[in-house]
Amino acid sequence: MITVLYVVLGLASVFVPGFLLSLVFFPRHGDLDPWERTGVSFGLGILALAFVAVVLAQPSLKMLETGPFFGSVFLLSIICLVLAYWRGGMRWVIGSLRKPMVKPEGEAMEAPVSEKTGEKSPN
């Protein structure tokens, strides 16, 4: 059970900074389709974690340990979140979270439109 938790934590620590970096570089919804954004997010996440590890492993710092590493990844994620919000990349993410999944009660369903004639069916 604990190994599953480690895998989930590891994937999240790679994906979240990468996803936020992809929102910084490609802020609009139409820039990347969902599969491309997922792939780019994992690639950028691995790149970001490698950069953090190289910086923390400097002989003058000697801070490549679990606490400083995850703290630096968290700080990098916060910086990317602010930059993504500033660039407008968070608009469609927040907007997609706010969309209602079901129609509110009281709204009438529209009749489907026929593609051939362009008229509404009698239902």
Q: What is the pLDDT of residues 39-49, one digit of tens each?
A: 999 999 999 99
Per-residue pLDDT of 13-39, as tens digits, reads 999 999 999 999 999 888 899 999 999
pTM for the full predicted model: 0.73
- Quick check: 116 pLDDT over 70? no
Average pLDDT of span 52-67: 90
Lookup: tokens for 3: 């190994």
Smallest CA-to-CA distance from 44 within 17, 71, 24 is with: 17
Tens of pLDDT, residues 62-81: 888 989 999 999 999 999 99
Distance between CA atoms of 109 and 88, rounded to whole angstroms? 34
d(CA 83, CA 17): 12
Domain boundaries, the chain: 8-98
Q: What was the pLDDT predicted at 96? A: 75
Distance CA 9, CA 5 (A): 6
